[in-house]
Amino acid sequence: MGANLFWIWIVLLAVGIMLIAFGGKRADGTHTSSVEWGYLAVLGGAFGLLSDYMSFTAVMLLVVLVTGAIWLFDKRVLAPRRQPGVVVPHYIDFPRGFFPVIAVVFLLRAFVAEPFQIPSSSMRPGLVVGDFILVSKFGYGLRVPVLNKVFIPVGNVERGDVVVFAYPENEKVSFIKRAIGLPGDVVEYRNKELTINGKPVPRLSVGEHSYLEQGLMMIQNQRYTETMGTRKYDTLNIPEQPVYAPDRVRQFPLRENCDYRGDGFSCKVPAGHYFMMGDNRDNSEDSRYWGFVEDRLLVGKAFLIWMNLGDFSRIGKAIH
């Protein structure tokens, strides 16, 4: 967490506590809206601070458990003893009011769909910076929140799927890439040509493509349409650049499954793992550099662009 964000969360937490402490009451004994805003500020500050130590899903689950415990305690113990007309204390009233909303949001995010924002150009041309996408949480099986273990098998990752997963080098960070290799596959990438189990992935040149990177530099690429099974998608590469940068390859787990040479590399995907690559082949940090993605790190399959504040025409586009 950056120092600036840390102090923002601290200030938000402090302001919330002050609003709760000094918000006061109305003439009828009920609490003012300042107290409610105080609890919202405390909730936001706590979310921000805790997110530095655990995943967003874990933070949400913790909040659900705390507010749910207060709701249940009030319903079973306090409410039956409460005299008519007695004002419910704010430390009971507001948390129990938050519980149903937070619980519904948590269940939707955990088992139906989760929103993400595209932070980089690694999946161009299909996905661009600023795209807000939806990720199906049940396509690869219903998973226990936080532990991410499948408890109801539903489907499996297919070659060519666009997948969101926890970054192996920092599991609090989410990455999005295309699943190129499944368990047992041999993935080769040499001279800008992708081969799976000895069979070249068909590709067709569709001309040049350029984009502005971070508003600073125009990047010129060659654009191709690749076909993987029944799925077609576009990729970018810069012909004169090498297929990987040797100085960026880390000593990742099971690196012995990969053979790096001057003109390219080959990797055999271990059981329970996947090989991921960005569609923007020469501008993507992916499995070439940090290794394989374990099944336990999968978040879900990206399927829809639901918002892009800079380009409304992208709203509603399916992700291929």
Q: Which of 177, 192, 268, 301 is catalytic?
A: 177
Indicate the pairing of strand 217-228 with strand 142-143: unpaired
Cβ-proximal residues to 187 (8 Å cutoff; 6+ apart), any chain: 180, 181, 194, 195, 196, 266, 267, 268, 269, 275
Helix (H, G, I), strand (E, B) or coil at 286: coil
Given the structure tokens 């919330």, which residue do they identify?
16
Contact 195, 189 (CB under 8 A): yes
Compute the half-sphere exposure of residue 297: CA atoms within 13 Å on the CB side of its CA.
24
Q: Which of 120, 121, 122, 136 is catalytic?
A: 122
205 as an active site residue: the answer is no
199 as an active site residue: the answer is no
Rounded distance between C-alpha atoms, residue 70 and residue 72, angstroms: 5
Q: How many of the other CB atoms lie within 10 Å of CB of 206? A: 12
Task: Pull the structure tokens for residue 304.
Answer: 């829809």
List active site positions.
122, 177
